[in-house]
A and B are shown apart, each in its own frame.
Chain A
Amino acid sequence: MKKLSHWIVFALAAVIPVAASAHKMFLVPSTTVLSDPTDAWITVDAAISNDLFNFNHHAMDLANLVVTGPDGKPVAAENRHQGKWRSSFDLHLLQAGTYRIAVTSEGLFASYVDAKGEKKRWRGSADKLGEIPADAKDLVISQAQGSVNTYVTVGKPSDGALKPSGHGLELAPVTAPNDLFAGEAAKFRFLVDGKPIKDLKVTVIAGGTRYRDKQDEITATTDADGQFSVTWPAPGMYWLNASLDGQKATEPKASTRRLSYTATLEVLPQ
């Protein structure tokens, strides 16, 4: 039973990131808009939970934490900690401008029938593909790329940290991600491998789901230019997610690629 539940966690958190699952991955920054240019710090929690933004399921692995500073260069996280329900770290924000904080995931998933006729699953990186037996039948390999993001700005918003890498599903902000206010519309663009993706369904959910009876999802669909707009109904922390399957794999042995993007965005009162 323990093994099974572990499998479920593993499957939900990694194989099908969030979309089909109740578990949501998120980062929660302590502050997103800072005015002190000399000694700004924030702390960030990272978790996989059912409720937004309470910690009740799994701490997030920070092995692939990437913090990009306003100059586009990496920023080191300090005071890393992994607890039972959430991980956390601090960031010393020494430059003015916008930072992107991301936990990325990249992996291969395989299903096959082994020599005994048993259905097997495998997860790993491309260099570990040799672990799959050479006599495996009905072998299907798929690739998954995802990122869980948040943004923070010291002083004036800047876009040096927001330049798309051209890999996977990325959000290219039109509205600065730290310039979001209740009652106003914000516009963003989704890119797949650097190109606008149309008809992508985007889900936005306000935090505090524990204290209401419905998820109250806000949905939007990207237009031909990959753009969509969200009008924020109230101040608060929001969880934004999009995922899509069936993309052309970039790993030669994989037949398909699944992409996901998640962000926590803070909306301020007027």
Chain B
Amino acid sequence: MIPLPKVLIVDDEADYLAIAAHIAAKAGCAVITAAAALKGVELAESDPPSLILLDVGLPDISGFEAARRMRRIPALARTPIIFFTVRSELDMVSEGLKLGAAGYVLKPFDPDDLSRRIKAAVFPA
């Protein structure tokens, strides 16, 4: 049996974590979660996922810093990262996309849009 693509979701807001996990599971993915950035980096390094959904305002280090650390890990250098955040300032969005993010989704989000982005990242055409 082909294993399901794995999505790591890092978010300290339990509600959004649960909604995103539900959407990713419905899109056909196995889901692992973390409520803090450093835990997310650790999980991603020990078991590299196919996609990382990363909040920006996390309690320990920012999602941007977490993304930089993940990019330095060879197995994660090309893993798609989608930022998933309330931070809608132009400078923040520009910085996130400059980090090479595959996507930048503003919260509150459109569930259909998030589902499409997850599928496009883990099941590329």
Answer yes or no: are A and B bound together in one complex. Answer: no
